[in-house]
Amino acid sequence: MTHSRIEEELHDTAHIDYDHVAIQWNPSVAQLYEDALKYESGSAISSTGALVTASGNKTGRSPKDKRIVDEPGSTKDIWWGPVNTKLPEHVFLINRERAVDYLNTRKRIYVFDGYAGWDPKYRIKVRVVSARAYHSLFMRNMLIRPTEEELENYGTPDFTIYNAGAFPANRYTSGMTSTTSVAINFHMNEMVILGTEYAGEMKKGIFTVMHYYMPIKHNVLSLHSSANEGADGDVSIFFGLSGTGKTTLSADPKRFLIGDDEHCWSEDSIFNIEGGCYAKCINLSAEKEPEIFNAIRFGSVLENVVYDPQTRVVNYDDAALTENTRCAYPIEYIPNAKIPCISSGHPKNIILLTCDAYGVLPPVSKLSSAQAMYHFISGYTAKIAGTEDGVTEPEATFSACFGQPFLVLHPYRYAKMLAEKMEQHSANAWLVNTGWNGGAYGIGERIKLKYSRAIIDAIHSGELAQAEYENYEIFNLQIPKTCSEVPSEILHPAKTWKGSQESYVSTRNLLAQRFIENFKLYQDQTTLEVVNAGPILS
Contact (Cβ atoms closer than 8 angstroms) between residue 519 and residue 378: yes
- 224 is annotated as an active-site residue: yes
What proportions of the chain, in percent to the nearest 5, are helix, strand and coil?
30, 25, 45
Give the β-pairing of 159-164 and 181-185: unpaired
Q: Which one is catalytic: 98, 132, 204, 508?
A: 204
Residue 166: partners with Cβ closer than 8 Å, 6 or more residues away:
56, 102, 131, 132, 197
- 247 is annotated as an active-site residue: yes
Q: Which one is catalytic: 113, 119, 252, 261?
A: 261
| Secondary structure of 329-369 as H, E, C letters | EEHHHCCCECCCCECCCCEEEEEEEECCCCCCCCCEEEECH
Burial 456-485 (b: 16+ CB within 10 A, else e): bbbbbeebbeebeeeebebbebbbbeebee
Look at residue 69 and give its three-state secondary structure.
strand
Q: Which one is catalytic: 105, 177, 242, 506?
A: 242
- 448 is annotated as an active-site residue: no
- 326 is annotated as an active-site residue: yes
Q: Which one is catalytic: 58, 123, 224, 348?
A: 224
Q: Which one is catalytic: 96, 98, 246, 346?
A: 246
Q: Which one is catalytic: 46, 58, 61, 180?
A: 61
Total Cβ atoms within 10 A of residue 206: 28
- 61 is annotated as an active-site residue: yes
Q: Which one is catalytic: 247, 325, 378, 434?
A: 247
Burial 293-311 (b: 16+ CB within 10 A, else e): bebbeebbbbbbbbbeeee
The residues annotated with a catalytic role in the active site are 61, 204, 224, 242, 246-247, 261, 326
